Structure 1
Amino acid sequence: MDFSNTPGYRGGLEIGLNAWLIGFSSLFYGLRLYIRVFITKSPGLDDGIAGIAYLLLMALSVMDIRAVSLGSGTHEAYVPEDIKARFFQWLGIQTVIYYWAIGLVRFAILAFLPRLTQDRSIRLVSWSVAVLLLTHTIIAFTLKLTQCTPIADSFKPPLEGRHCAPVARYNDMMLGHGIGGIVLDAILLLLPIWVICRKMMWSKKTLQIVLVLSVGVFAMATSIVRVVLMASPEDFSDMTYAMPSLGIWTNLEGHVGLWCSCFPALQPLLRVVPYKLRQMTLGTSGGTRATVYTHDKLGSRQDGTRGVYKERIGSSAGMDNESQRAIVSLEMGKMDAEIVHAPHA
């Protein structure tokens, strides 16, 4: 149903933003898969978890766009009762999906840590955080499903003869879930930074890596904004009209978290792209490896050719920096090995 002519209509904002979120998430996750599968040949558990989270986030955004035709972004006074009933049913389903989507996004970030180190103490910390995260998700999911008897009443509009716990109690649960999520986001932000700073000597490259990981601050910021909006009582007085605000920040929280989980995996691009540009600049037809080898061979003794070739390739691929290797050790290890040990053209 089209509500675009109603006073104060905000559904267009919800459609536009979710379309952008779908596009950016597809781009980042697509690049992540391409790098892990075809460039570094190191797909892992974190990629699989992120893939499930990606699908759930896509479902949430598509459902948000669909909800506009059910009254999302429109004042409740202008939404027919039958349409409003479908809106709240849709909202209940979205809430259930959200708990697992945001939980899996956080699991994907946590699952990246084994790529940095296999240190026993850090693994123990990671497993402890994983238990907290799983408990946090299951509790919220269970409370959502059991707030009403029968469970089907959880997906009906408020004040429609439902046999449910008071709305205020459910809102408090949602608020508690949001605050717990902020705490978990802070832990997931600091853990990889702590690992890098603990394992690596401080350098310019280490700082660059820390800055890449620090983009998780934006995910935590979206969680904070969402909790603040949820704590505002007026947001629940006109639920259909409030959805573009609540729904947008809810989706932003998940999508931005997914992007943050993808950024470390995209690090090899910082090495592959300059390598390819060098290849194009030299204008080779057989690849940079052959050209660099030939150039070194012309300027070196025959018995030192292979050593010079290996040193030049290593430098162009950025292999001489320990801190850079730390974050992409599994990402780039195979590719670097192929470059160093490739047969001469």
Structure 2
Amino acid sequence: MGFTPLEGQAPDKYESQAGVVIAVVTLCLAVATTAVGLRSYSRATLIRQFGMDDWAAIVALLLAMGSGGMVASNTIYGHGRHIEVVDMSIFWKYMRTFYTSIVLYNGSLTAIKITFLLQYWRILGTPQMRKVVMIAGVIVALWSISQLLVVIFTCVPIHRFWLPETPGTCIPNLPFWYINAAGNIVTDIIVFVVPLPALSKLNLKKNQKVALISIFCLGFFTCAISVIRIQYLKLTADTTWDNVASSLWSVGELCSGITCACLPTLRPLVAKIFPSMNSTNDSYGSYHKSSGRDGAAPSKNKRSRNETASTRSIIYPEDVELQSDDRSDKEVRVDRLENHAQYGSAMNKLKLGLKPSVTTEIKVGTPGPTSTGPMPSSQWPSRGIEVKHDLVVTKEGY
């Protein structure tokens, strides 16, 4: 909408930050949307393991879009302009949109934290770590739900927030906004610290471990944005102008959190685009393709090692899942699978009631004649131990 200069007012009163608001919101949401889109493609299409944490990321993005959309659309009602030149007959619309953006902001923050925790629940699948994740989840849930309720019912009745002449009461913006920001930073730190002890204990090379931990530590960048945002929470009477900085930092905080939650899941996509990253030197972990027989003849050892090295594949950071035996409660490493297709096939067989079992046959061989007569030394079997593993799938009850 246009604003007509009033007589006697300084020209700088008509400066506008509306363009900056729209540009920053658009850029931040574009980055977050791209991250979630790539995450969804990687998880649903490449490895076919789309889970609850992926749905939570989508919900967080939708809420962030809503909050960012409210911030950008509020420029229609004067956001980014000095309050002296804002049409006060529509100022209540500005405050109503502002209220909606705050509610959606807190909802998106909650969904982002849930995304991280569900991701940890899947990745760090040991009983000990799941207890830690559960405790962190309870703390985050209690705090987030309480803050969401306080934000929604800041004023009673609710519409008193944008219609101050309505009889009722409202919670003062300060110190509530400071308490809300401080609590969010504390819960963010709790969420980002949870996986570090488990990741530091993984049996990986030093550079691999550092790379993996660094990816998960990117979430602390969101904490830094939250800290910066605090200094912009105090608003003067020039609300429509002062609120630009705090609203943009809020949108940036949401998009940063969403992007950081998605980065650890993008390794399969990166490896697909850049096959050279499938080397064992820079992978977070690896497994080798096997025909089911180990301990080949000495004459073939060198060849076997070369074949193993050339056929190694990556186990991505989101698949570094430490699983436990429900009966013995013992921590074990994730099964070495030839590929994700075999994993899906095995799961389907389990769902159909097929019971897998493993038969191990160990043969200790020494050279010597056969029952049919002497054998030339060149045809004698190799010395050593031969181990053969056979996987048998049977129907339950058979």
TM-score category of the 2 structures, normalised to the smaller one? 0.7 to 0.9
Rounded Cα–Cα distance in structure 1 between residues aligned with 2:4 and 2:341: 58
Q: TM-score, normalised by structure 1?
A: 0.79
Larger % of strand: which? 2
Aligned to 1:273: 273
Rounded Cα–Cα distance in structure 2 between residues aligned with 1:22 and 1:269: 21
Summarize the Cα distance change of 1:3–1:336 in structure 2 as closer, same or farther, 3 Å threshold.
farther
Summarize the Cα distance change of 1:277–1:188 in structure 2 as closer, same or farther, 3 Å threshold.
closer
Unaligned runs of at least 5 residues, structure 2: 6-12, 279-299, 322-333, 344-398
Aligned to 1:137: 144
Aligned to 2:308: 311
Counterpart of 2:153 (choices 146, 152, 163) is 146
Counterpart of 2:53 (choices 46, 54, 79) is 46
Rounded Cα–Cα distance in structure 1 between residues aligned with 2:101 and 2:192: 26
Per-residue CA distance 1:162-203 (angstroms, 9 max, x = gap):
522353xx3222211110111111112211222201344561
1:210 is aligned with what amino acid?
I
Per-residue CA distance 1:253-297 (angstroms, 9 max, x = gap):
11100001001111223433332799xxxxxxxxxxxxxxxxxxx
1:328 is aligned with what amino acid?
D
Rounded Cα–Cα distance in structure 2 between residues aligned with 1:172 and 1:277: 50
CA contact (8 A) 2:81 2:241 kept: yes
Aligned to 2:240: 240
Rounded Cα–Cα distance in structure 1 between residues aligned with 2:115 and 2:314: 27
Aligned to 2:89: 82
Structure 1 vs Structure 2: percent identity of aligned residues? Answer: 19
Larger % of helix: which? 1
Rounded Cα–Cα distance in structure 2 between residues aligned with 1:268 and 1:13: 36
Aligned to 1:252: 252
Aligned to 1:13: 20
Per-residue CA distance 1:3-40 (angstroms, 9 max, x = gap):
59862311111000011012111111110000001111
Aligned to 2:32: 25
CA contact (8 A) 2:67 2:105 kept: yes
Q: Find the structure with the greater CA-based Rg.
A: 2
Structure 2 counterpart SS, 1:137: helix
Aligned to 2:210: 207
Rounded Cα–Cα distance in structure 1 between residues aligned with 2:36 and 2:335: 18
Deviation at 1:313, TM superposition (A): 4.9
1:252 is aligned with what amino acid?
G
1:87 is aligned with what amino acid?
Y
Structure 2 counterpart SS, 1:73: coil
CA contact (8 A) 2:124 2:195 kept: no
Summarize the Cα distance change of 1:47–1:327 in structure 2 as closer, same or farther, 3 Å threshold.
closer
Structure 1 counterpart SS, 2:130: helix
Tell me, yes or no, if structure 1 residue 165 matches structure 2 residue 170: yes
Structure 1 counterpart SS, 2:311: helix
Aligned to 2:196: 193
Rounded Cα–Cα distance in structure 2 between residues aligned with 1:312 and 1:4: 73
Equivalences for residues 294-305 of structure 1 within 5 A: none
Deviation at 1:306, TM superposition (A): 10
Higher relative contact order (CA 8 A, sep 6+): 1
Q: TM-score, normalised by structure 2?
A: 0.69
